[in-house]
Amino acid sequence: MKPNDENGKLPTSERPFRVFIISGSDRRQYNCPGVDSKSRALMLHMSERLPREWEIDYEDLGNVYARARIQSCNACVSTSMALCVWPCNCYEANHRSEPDLMWDLNMYARLDLADAWAIIGPVNWYGPTSNLKLMFDRLVCMNGGNPREDLIKHKEAELAKELEHLPEWEELSLNHLEGRTAGFFCYGDGGGDELAEDGRPRVLRHKEYFDPEKEPFEDMRDTYGPVVWQCRYGGIEVPDPLWRYVEFGRGKKYSDNQAEDMATGTKVFQEFDKWVDEFSAFVRQKGKVEPGKYRAYGYEAPGHLAEDLKAKWREIKTGLGYPPEGSSPAKQQELGLNKDATLRPKKSEGEKLRE
């Protein structure tokens, strides 16, 4: 059935079971590729195959012209775990300066509402797609992020560093989506028709630069290892049988390996159906998942105009060479480490070098 987000307000025992399917390819026909992805076709196929009594939510992360993209993680956690807020407060929905697809699509709440996630995507350059990696990077906050931004006045680094050392931090830093299940179905084409018989790219002139015997990943499903293990790190169960890789299109031109070719000239849908059925059986037996203490569903970001003004004043003082006393920027400035006092932070290092 279609998802009804209002069911998130019901006790777990009274709401329907819910699955969230994500198509992770960067391709959409409404941008320069001009063609929809294979992962989109698989996503839609899966939504029809799962039990009718379940709520089935799904989303295509493909790039649509002029639509917001998933903003990259700002790595707040590297300053302090307590500066990494759950759900992410680096960005917000419908923002003019920094539009963000994660918030515009309400991804945090939808991931929270689901009992299980099904992630479908191609292998791009020995790894997940850019958009899937961006999504999971932005989910660092689910792994111990700070659910109380009021304690750090929205985004005050010094307060966050203090909070991280207080006893109450242990009660706040939780795996906020723990208990759910994630399945991964990834696929690739073995390089299409780009490889010569010796396993090297045909157009490569410096053959000695590329040793096919040393290529990574004997099992190509391991290309998705970083996001699988991020899930496991945060208490999201990824059973080995539900982490699958399928290859098709090796030796073919990319233009001859589209979704319609996959549907009519391969056995991919048969393999995919087996995976979907195994996914369905596993999550059915496991059952519904109780929500965490601090939910993304129903979350309303607090106003932070005063905090933003204070942060801007901090930025100006730091840019003038007067960072907060005792802060990391002050210590780094004293040691001559980063040379980053400027009132024009948007100016690139390359521009400065060429002045």
Residue 255 is part of a domain; what is its CATH number? Answer: 3.40.50.360
Residues 289 and 329 in one domain: no
Residues 19 and 168 in one domain: yes
Q: How far apart (Å, rounded) are the C-alpha atoms in residues 183 and 270?
A: 17
What is the average pLDDT score of the chain? 96
Last residue of a domain, one of 279, 302, 325: 302
Last residue of a domain, one of 286, 302, 318: 302
Overall average pLDDT of the 65-94 stretch:
97
Residues 176 and 311 in one domain: no
Instruction: Give me the numbers of helices (H) and strands (E) for the chain, helices first please.
Output: 12, 5
Residues 331 and 216 in one domain: no
Residues 164 and 257 in one domain: yes
Query: 103 falls in which pLDDT band (50, 70, 90)?
Result: very high
Residues 182 and 37 in one domain: yes
- Alpha carbons within 13 A on the beta-carbon side of 257: 18
User: How many domains are there within the chain?
Assistant: 2
Taking only the tens place, the pLDDT of each residue in 170-225 is: 999 999 999 999 999 999 999 899 999 999 999 999 999 999 999 999 999 999 99
Taking only the tens place, the pLDDT of each residue in 144-184 is: 999 999 999 999 999 999 999 999 999 999 999 999 999 99
Overall average pLDDT of the 323-337 stretch:
93
Q: How far apart (Å, rounded) are the C-alpha atoms in residues 90 and 137?
A: 13
| Domain span including residue 284 | 5-302
Residues 41 and 186 in one domain: yes
Residues 235 and 262 in one domain: yes
Residues 119 and 183 in one domain: yes
Residues 178 and 100 in one domain: yes
Residues 38 and 143 in one domain: yes
Residues 289 and 352 in one domain: no
pLDDT, position 259: 94
Of 85, 79, 78, 87, which Cα lies nearest the Cα of 107? 87
pLDDT, position 212: 95
pLDDT, position 214: 95
